[in-house]
Amino acid sequence: MWIEKLENGKFKFIERYLDPYSEKWKKVSVTLDKKNQREAQRILEKKIQDKSNKIQNRAITLHELMDKWLQNYKMKSKNSSYFSRVSHIKKLKKSISHEILVKNIDRVLLIKQIEEWLFVQDLSRNYVKELKNVLNMLFKYAIDMQYIQTNPLNNIQIPTKKVEVKHIKEKYLEKDEVEMILDNLRNAYGNKKNKRIADLCEFLYLNGLRIGEALALEWSEIDFENRTIAINGTWDYHYNNQDFARKTSTKTAQSKRTISFNERTNEILHEIQAENPKEVPYIFIGLLSHRQLTVQVISSNLRNATKRIGLNKRVSPHTFRHSHISRLAELHLPVAAIMERVGHADSKTTLEIYTHVTNKMREEIIEKIELL
């Protein structure tokens, strides 16, 4: 720092700094009435710090960026969306070194990481797509915060994995497999909790709801006279922490819908209505707790049931939704009608199951024709 005395008797304090944009040396100055070097130094350092923030920002690590972004995302999102992102961030942190700086991330590193997930770790393409989407949000946030100028993910495509028939078949259950699981749940240990879980799974199979949509259903949304269900929300919770659970809007605009139900669904609903306390508005609650069942409890019981019957498939509540789609495909319903019923905004999953089921039906027809 140097000082120049001005003609008016004041003092001009000047300091040089490296401009982060041009990477050239520039000057900052402050004029004071008195020759107060300590005060001048403080003001000049603040000016230089403000102008040099870009240099500091560019040195941020990807892990630090994740923490900042997640904190920002939490303020804008549903609990379920936030906790889903927490899971994705954990996976990203596990995959990418904590030492890597955001400014040094390039296409080569990202392409190698995506291929590692797909072909070495054998993660599903859909899950890799979710991880890529989170990375994309991270880099957009980094641009907004001026940590970087361009998104290194731009124009990077996820390679297509060879989809095995076995993989598609594991997304849904055959009719006899559904019946075996439900029978096992209802007959195992004479447990009323298992019966309620069986009723819920059969309801999902018959109507194609997401588990969150079913848990959020209220009696006021059931029209017994016209046999329709109005799906207006989803149950937003994190793991088993029911204290923070609440009903929120549906996953997408297409998810809000009204569907018809059959006689078996009518029987299930009336049985539950007779068992539930009248003061509780929700349908799928525990018989003792009178609170919503959790996905973890449902999934645990399903795993035990599949083991008991020797079924070598990974079954979750969502499997019954996919099984509903497969049954509608077998009944030759148009894809558009199926998508509308299950509230799918994206036809990918519906088409994947639909195509597999209809191809299997064609093969069975050919086999039967050969017997003529």
Q: Based on the residue annotation, tell me whether 210 is a catalytic residue of this protein.
A: yes
Q: Based on the residue annotation, tell me whether 327 is a catalytic residue of this protein.
A: no
Give per-residue burial for 23-33: e unless 16+ CB within 10 Å, then b. Answer: eeeeebebeee
Catalytic residue among 85, 210, 322, 341: 210
Q: Based on the residue annotation, tell me whether 321 is a catalytic residue of this protein.
A: yes
Catalytic residue among 321, 324, 327, 341: 321
| Alpha carbon distance 12, 54 (integer Å) | 27
Q: Based on the residue annotation, tell me whether 318 is a catalytic residue of this protein.
A: yes
Q: Based on the residue annotation, tell me whether 141 is a catalytic residue of this protein.
A: no
Q: Which residues are catalytic?
A: 210, 318, 321, 344, 354
